[in-house]
A and B are shown apart, each in its own frame.
Chain A
Amino acid sequence: MLSPLFQKWFSSKGWQVRSHQLTLIEKAFIKQQSTLLIAPTGAGKTLAGFLPTLCDLEQKIENGTISNQLHTIYISPLKALAQDVARNVEQPIHEMGLKIDIETRTGDTPASKKQRQKEKPPHILMTTPEQLSLMLAHPDWLEHFKHLRYLILDELHALVVSKRGDLLALDMARLCQYSPSLVHIGLSATVAAPDSLRGYLMPQINKMTGEIYEPFQKSELVTVASTLEANITVLKTEAAIPWSGHGAAHVIDDIYQIIKAHKTTLIFVNTRRQAEMFFQDLWVINEDNLAIALHHGSLDVTQRRKVEAAMVAGQLKAIVCTSTLDLGIDWGDVDLVINLGAPKGVSRILQRIGRSNHRMNEASKAILVPSNRFEVMECQVAMEAALRGEQDSAEPRTGGLDVLAQHILGVAVSDPFLKQDLYLQICSSWPYRHLSLEDFEQVIDFVATGGYALRAYEEFAKIKVDEDGYHRISNKKIAQNYRMNVGTIVSALMIKIKLVKQSNQRHQPQGAAPFKNRARGGRILGEVEESFIAQLSPGDTFVFAGEVLQFEATYETEAYVIKAPFKDPKIPSYMGGKFPLSTHLADALRMMFSDERRQQILPDQVKEWLVLQKQKSQLPNLDKLLIETFPHKDRFYLVCYPFEGILVHQTLGVLLTRRLERAGAKPLGFVAGEYALSIWGLGDMGKLLENGSLNLADLFAEDMLGDDLDAWLQESSLMKYTFWQCATIAGLIERNQIGEHKTARQTMISSDLIYNVLRTHDPDHILLQATYQEAATGLLDIARLGHMLKRIQGKFNHIALDHVSPLAVPVMLEIGKELVFGEGRESLIYEAAQELIDEAMKE
C-alpha cells in the first residue's frame, strides 16, 4: 500500500510501518473515508494522521497533477503544538525530497504573512480553531477551501468538551459546503465513548432528504490498544497523612528521593497555586541542586518555551507542572509521572500517565500522591480503575447557543445565506444536530436585532434580508468588529507581572509614577488574574514563577514587583483549577467506603481513621446518604457526604441553607469540599430532625431545583459570571472594538446590570436560555445535582452526635480557610459597618 518512496524512507529510519498507520492510509487515502484514530501517546499518532495527506500529495507530484492549492488543514488546540507538529512533519517531507509547503498560522503569525497566505496558501496549513473561524470570515479564503482535501483534528478528545469544539464543529460543517468530499481525520487519546467522537467527524444531515440520520452517522475507527500495562502505585509513606489540605509537604522527602532515583520525572499538580508551593518546597531541600523546573499557564511564554526546550534536550531532572502539559508535545525521555493530589478522573490520570515512556516499548510508570486521607482513598480507587483501563472522559457537548450566535454573524460576514440552507448546515454538525428550528430562528433574530420581545431595534439591525431571502450584514464595520471578537475563550482580565529594579532610595513616593523608569527593561514573569492583584497592598509578598516577590505598584495592565527578601510569602490564590471529581470515581469511592474488605489495602493511618468513624458514627454507604449533626462551639452543624465534587456541593449548600432558613433552623453559612458539605447555624438541626419539625426528605426533595434554584439564580454571582461569558461569546458585549482598547472591565455597561434587566423584562430571551444551558453543566453543575437528588430520594442515614465525627474533621478544617466568595460577600458590608458602630460606642 505504501509507495516505494515511503517504504524507502521508513526503512532508512530503521522503522517498521505500523499496522494502524497502514489502516489509516487504506481508509482515509484509498477509500477517502473520514476516520477516527484512537491511540495512546507515543504510538506515532501524528505521523499516522498526516500519512493520507502525504500519500495523496506524493501521488499528485508523481502524476504531475500537483497544484499550488490548499490541500490539508491541521487543527490543534494549542499554538505550540501546531508549531511542534509542523516541525515533525517537515522532517519526513524534507527527507523524502517532496516539494510540499507547510506553514503555521496562529495568533502570533504576523499580519503580512497572514495576508500572503490568503493570496497564496501552502499545501498544508497548521492552525487553531479560532484561526479557522477567522479564515472562514474572509471571502478570499472561501475560494481556497474549495480545493481542501483533508482536515486533521488533533487532540480531539480535549476539543469536543469545550465551546471551542462547538465552534469548530460549525466551521467543519461550513467547510463541507465548499468542499463536499472533504475527508476528516480525528486523532484522540483513549476515551469513554468513541462513538460520539466518530459522530462528531461526520455530517449528520442526509443531504438528499434533509433529514437527520437516525441512528447517527459514524466515521471509520482505528484503535491502537496500549500493549503494555502501566505500572501505577499510590505512594506509601511513613509520614503522618494530613486530615485536610492540598499540599504535599508531608512527603516532600519521599518525592525528592524518588526524583533522584529516576532519569526525568514529570510532576503533575491540579492548580497553579499548588505548582508554585510544591516547587518552592522542593527547592528548599534540593541539596544536590537537581535541575527542577516549573511550568504553568500563567508563566510568560518565553519562560515556558525555555523550560520546554530544556526538557526536550534532556537537561531537566524534574518539572512541576499543571494541565498545560497534559496535551500533545513530545517530551522525550520521561521515565516517571507523579500525580500530586486528587486524581479527579480516571481518563485524566491515564492521559497524564501516558506522558511517560513515549516510546511505547516500555510500561509507563506513575505514582499517585494523596495530600490528605480522603485522597488516599480516591488515589486507591483511581489506580484500580486505571489499571482496569476504565475511562470516564466527558462526552462531547450539546452546542451552546452563544457560540451559534457568534458563528451566524461570521457566516453573514463572508457569505450571505438563506435561512433554511444554513439551518440544515448547522444541524449537520454533531453538537447542534438536535437544534430546533425555533431556537435557530431566535438566535438569528438575536444576532440581527438583539431578539428582544420589545422589538425596539429593527432600525439598527446588524443583519438584513434582501428580496431573495439572503441574509447579509448591514455594514462593513460589523465585519471588522466580528473579526476582532472571534473565539470562545473568555478570560478574566490578566495583569502582567513585571520584575523591576530595586530602588536605591530608602524613602520613595508611593504609586506607580516612580516605577516607570525602573520598569524600563524589566522582565515579564507571566500574568495573573486582576482579582488576585487587587488583593495585594504594596509590600505584600507572594510566590510566582518560583520566586518570592514583593508587590510594589500597578501601572495600566502591569504589576511591578521586586524580589523579596525571603520570608513567609502570601501564596497566590488563582481562580480555576477546580475540576470536580468524576461521577465514575465518586461511585468507586462510595463503593470502597461500604466494603470493609477492600479497605484492608489502605495504609494503617487511614484504616484507623475509618474504624474510629465506625465507632463514633457510621461509614457512608452505597444506599443511603450519611448525614451527621452535632454541636461545636456555640454552633450546630449538619454534615453530609454526597461525594459529588465541589461545584455540586456549592450549589447544594446554597439551596439547603435557603430551605433551612425557612424551616427556622437559622443557618449561618456553609463550606463545600470535594467529598462533603458542612452547614452551620444557630438552630439545633439534630434536634429539629429528631422531633420531626425538620424532615430530610423535604429538605433534599428534588423540587429544590424549582423555585429555590430559580430565586437563587437571580442573585447568584456564578450565574452572573456565566451570563457575562455567554454575552461576550454571543457578541452582545464586545471584547474589542475598532480603534479602542477596551479591557474586560471597561465594557460600557456592566453585564450584571444587563442580566438583571433581561431577567425581569424578557425572561425567555435566547441569551438567558444559553446561560441556563451553560449553568446546568458548567460552574453550577445543576444536572449532576439533579441526578444526585434523584438517587438519594428518601434514602437518608441521619446520625445525631455529641461532637464532630472523624470523617467530618476534614471539611470542618476548611471552614474559614478559603476567602469568602459569592453570596456570602454581601454580609461583609455589615461586618465593616459594625466596626464603625463599635468605634462610635467607644467614644
Chain B
Amino acid sequence: MTSSINQCDKFEIHHIFHGLELHLHASGAIWLEKLKTLLIADLHLEKGSSLAQKGMLIPPYDTRQTLEKLDEVMAYFKPEHVITLGDNFHDHKGPQRLSKQDLSLLNKLMQRAKFTWIEGNHDNPNYYKSQLSVASQTNDEIFYNPVQHFQLEDISLIHDAAQGAKAPMMVGHLHPLALLKQRNVYLRKTCFFISKDICILPSFGSYTGGLNVRHDAFSPYWDDDTKIFMLNSNQVVQVPITKLVKNKRG
C-alpha cells in the first residue's frame, strides 16, 4: 500500500456564470457575494425516517447533520437570502416527521436569513403533473411554502432542468457525481456541473448519493464549455473532463 499526504495548495474556485460570480464551496453550496445569497440543492431532509418506515432502520440523524452543515455554511458566508433548489424533504410528509430539536434548529436558521424554498419532485408527489400547484403539506410551526421557480436577475432557478425553464438556469435534481480515472485508480466524488447555460449543483443532504455526469440523464447539458468541479474533503477542484469515465455498470 502506498499512501501520500496531500501537499497541494488549497483551491479557491470562482466561476463567472452569465455575469454572476459564483463562489463554489466545498459543502456543495454556491455563494453569490454580490447578492448576499446562498444557493443549495437537494437537502432530502428526513430521508432516514422515510426509509425507516419501509423497514430500513438507518440512523435518524441525517436531518440534523444536514441542518448543522447549513448552519456552518451560513455562519461563514452570513447570507441575507438562502434559496434551496428543491427536494427539500425526501417525501412530502417529511415536514411532519421533523423532531422538535431539528425543527427548532431550522426555525433558528430561517430567522437569520430570508429563505426561498423551491419545490422538487420529492416534495410534491404531483410535481410533474401540476406545475403551478403551490399548495403542499406544510407544518404549521415553520414557514414552509415552496415555490416552483425563482428568478435571479437573468437566471432561472428551478429544481429540474427538464421542466424547461428559460435558460440560463441553475438547478438541482440530478445530484451530479464524477468518476475520475487517474493512474488506473478510480475516485468517486460529488461535483458541480457547469455548462454555458446551465449550472447543476451537487446534493447538499447527508444521505444523498450521486449520479455519474457521464450518465445519459446529463447528455442534454453537456457542451464544449462544460466544466466539472469535484468536491474533495474541504476543497473544490476543477478536473479535466477527459479523465471522467462512465460507471462500468448500471
* Residues of A near any B CB (own CB < 8 A): 449-450, 452, 454, 456-457, 460, 462, 477-478, 481, 530, 533-535, 554, 556-557, 646, 650, 653-654, 657, 661, 666-672, 715, 732-734, 743, 745-746, 748-750, 753-754, 756-758, 760-762, 765, 815-816, 818-836, 839
From A477, A554, A671, B248 is in contact (CB under 8 Å) with A554
Closest residue of chain A to B4, judged by CB? A669
With A450-B60, A460-B55, A761-B64 known as contacts, the answer to whether A669 contacts B186 (CB < 8 A) is: no
- In the complex, are the beta carbons of A829 and B237 less than 8 A apart? yes
- In the complex, are the beta carbons of A761 and B59 less than 8 A apart? yes
A746 to B247 Cα, complex, angstroms: 12
Residues from chain B with a CB closer than 8 A to the CB of A669 are 2-5
B window 91-133: CB within 8 A of A:
99
Residues from chain A with a CB closer than 8 A to the CB of B55 are 460, 462, 477-478, 481
- In the complex, are the beta carbons of A820 and B183 less than 8 A apart? yes
CB distance from A485 to the nearest CB of B (A): 12
23 pairs, A vs B, C-beta closer than 8 Å: A452-B60, A454-B60, A457-B60, A535-B184, A650-B1, A654-B3, A669-B4, A670-B2, A732-B56, A749-B207, A753-B207, A753-B209, A756-B206, A757-B59, A818-B2, A820-B183, A824-B4, A825-B185, A825-B187, A826-B233, A831-B183, A835-B240, A836-B240
CB distance from B248 to the nearest CB of A (A): 5
Is B52 an interface residue when CB atoms closer than 8 A count as contact?
yes
- In the complex, are the beta carbons of A821 and B49 less than 8 A apart? no
From A530, A743, A750, A832, B182 is in contact (CB under 8 Å) with A832
A765 to B2 Cα, complex, angstroms: 32
- Given A462-B55, A829-B189, A829-B239, 7 more contacts at CB 8 Å? A481-B55, A554-B249, A650-B1, A733-B56, A821-B1, A825-B185, A833-B239
Is B22 an interface residue when CB atoms closer than 8 A count as contact?
no
Closest residue of chain A to B239, judged by CB? A832
- In the complex, are the beta carbons of B2 and A757 less than 8 A apart? no
Interface string of B199-234 (1 = CB under 8 A from A): 000000011010000000000000000000010110
With A757-B62, A761-B59 known as contacts, the answer to whether A829 contacts B182 (CB < 8 A) is: yes
- In the complex, are the beta carbons of A831 and B182 less than 8 A apart? yes
- In the complex, are the beta carbons of A823 and B60 less than 8 A apart? no
Residues from chain A with a CB closer than 8 A to the CB of B185 are 819-820, 825, 828
- In the complex, are the beta carbons of B3 and A653 less than 8 A apart? yes
A456 to B99 Cα, complex, angstroms: 8
| Of B6-14, B141-149, B164-172, the one with at least 4 CB within 8 A of chain A | B6-14
Closest residue of chain A to B205, judged by CB? A753
CB distance from B162 to the nearest CB of A (A): 23
- In the complex, are the beta carbons of B180 and A832 less than 8 A apart? yes
A248 to B180 Cα, complex, angstroms: 35
A750 to B2 Cα, complex, angstroms: 25
With A653-B1, A671-B2 known as contacts, the answer to whether A829 contacts B56 (CB < 8 A) is: no
- In the complex, are the beta carbons of B59 and A833 less than 8 A apart? no
Interface string of B26-55 (1 = CB under 8 A from A): 000000000000000000000111011101
With A457-B60, A460-B53, A757-B207 known as contacts, the answer to whether A821 contacts B5 (CB < 8 A) is: no
A828 to B2 Cα, complex, angstroms: 12
Residues from chain B with a CB closer than 8 A to the CB of A530 are 248-249
Residues from chain B with a CB closer than 8 A to the CB of A832 are 180, 182, 239-240, 243
- In the complex, are the beta carbons of A757 and B206 less than 8 A apart? yes
- In the complex, are the beta carbons of A732 and B239 less than 8 A apart? no
- In the complex, are the beta carbons of A827 and B250 less than 8 A apart? no
Residues from chain B with a CB closer than 8 A to the CB of A819 are 2, 184-185
Closest residue of chain A to B64, judged by CB? A761
With A757-B206, A830-B8 known as contacts, the answer to whether A822 contacts B187 (CB < 8 A) is: no
Closest residue of chain B to A667, judged by CB? B5
CB distance from B4 to the nearest CB of A (A): 3
Residues from chain B with a CB closer than 8 A to the CB of A554 are 248-249
- In the complex, are the beta carbons of A839 and B240 less than 8 A apart? yes
A442 to B8 Cα, complex, angstroms: 44
Closest residue of chain B to A830, judged by CB? B8
Closest residue of chain B to A835, judged by CB? B240
- Give the residue among B1, B2, B61 with the most A Cβ atoms within 10 A: B1
From B5, B48, B56, B57, A657 is in contact (CB under 8 Å) with B5
- In the complex, are the beta carbons of A833 and B11 less than 8 A apart? yes
From B4, B57, B182, B243, A457 is in contact (CB under 8 Å) with B57
- In the complex, are the beta carbons of B1 and A750 less than 8 A apart? no
- In the complex, are the beta carbons of B250 and A761 less than 8 A apart? no
A760 to B67 Cα, complex, angstroms: 13
A818 to B51 Cα, complex, angstroms: 40
- In the complex, are the beta carbons of A460 and B206 less than 8 A apart? no
- In the complex, are the beta carbons of A828 and B183 less than 8 A apart? yes
A482 to B6 Cα, complex, angstroms: 44
Is B151 an interface residue when CB atoms closer than 8 A count as contact?
no
From A557, A657, A762, B61 is in contact (CB under 8 Å) with A762
- In the complex, are the beta carbons of B237 and A833 less than 8 A apart? yes
A825 to B189 Cα, complex, angstroms: 12
Residues from chain A with a CB closer than 8 A to the CB of B230 are 829
From B11, B51, B99, A748 is in contact (CB under 8 Å) with B51
A715 to B99 Cα, complex, angstroms: 29
Is B58 an interface residue when CB atoms closer than 8 A count as contact?
yes
Residues from chain A with a CB closer than 8 A to the CB of B189 are 829
Residues from chain B with a CB closer than 8 A to the CB of A826 are 6, 187, 232-233
- In the complex, are the beta carbons of A454 and B99 less than 8 A apart? yes
Residues from chain A with a CB closer than 8 A to the CB of B138 are none
Residues from chain B with a CB closer than 8 A to the CB of A820 are 2-4, 183, 185
Is B136 an interface residue when CB atoms closer than 8 A count as contact?
no
- Give the residue among B2, B52, B186, B243 with the most A Cβ atoms within 10 A: B2
A842 to B160 Cα, complex, angstroms: 38
CB distance from B111 to the nearest CB of A (A): 24
Residues from chain B with a CB closer than 8 A to the CB of A715 are 233
CB distance from B232 to the nearest CB of A (A): 5
- In the complex, are the beta carbons of A757 and B3 less than 8 A apart? no
- In the complex, are the beta carbons of B61 and A823 less than 8 A apart? no
Closest residue of chain B to A650, judged by CB? B1
Residues from chain B with a CB closer than 8 A to the CB of A477 are 55
A758 to B240 Cα, complex, angstroms: 34
Closest residue of chain B to A475, judged by CB? B55
- In the complex, are the beta carbons of A450 and B3 less than 8 A apart? no
With A829-B182, A829-B239, A833-B239 known as contacts, the answer to whether A824 contacts B49 (CB < 8 A) is: no
Residues from chain A with a CB closer than 8 A to the CB of B233 are 715, 826
A661 to B4 Cα, complex, angstroms: 11
- In the complex, are the beta carbons of B57 and A828 less than 8 A apart? no
Residues from chain A with a CB closer than 8 A to the CB of B240 are 832-833, 835-836, 839
- In the complex, are the beta carbons of A670 and B3 less than 8 A apart? yes
Closest residue of chain A to B54, judged by CB? A460
Residues from chain B with a CB closer than 8 A to the CB of A825 are 185, 187
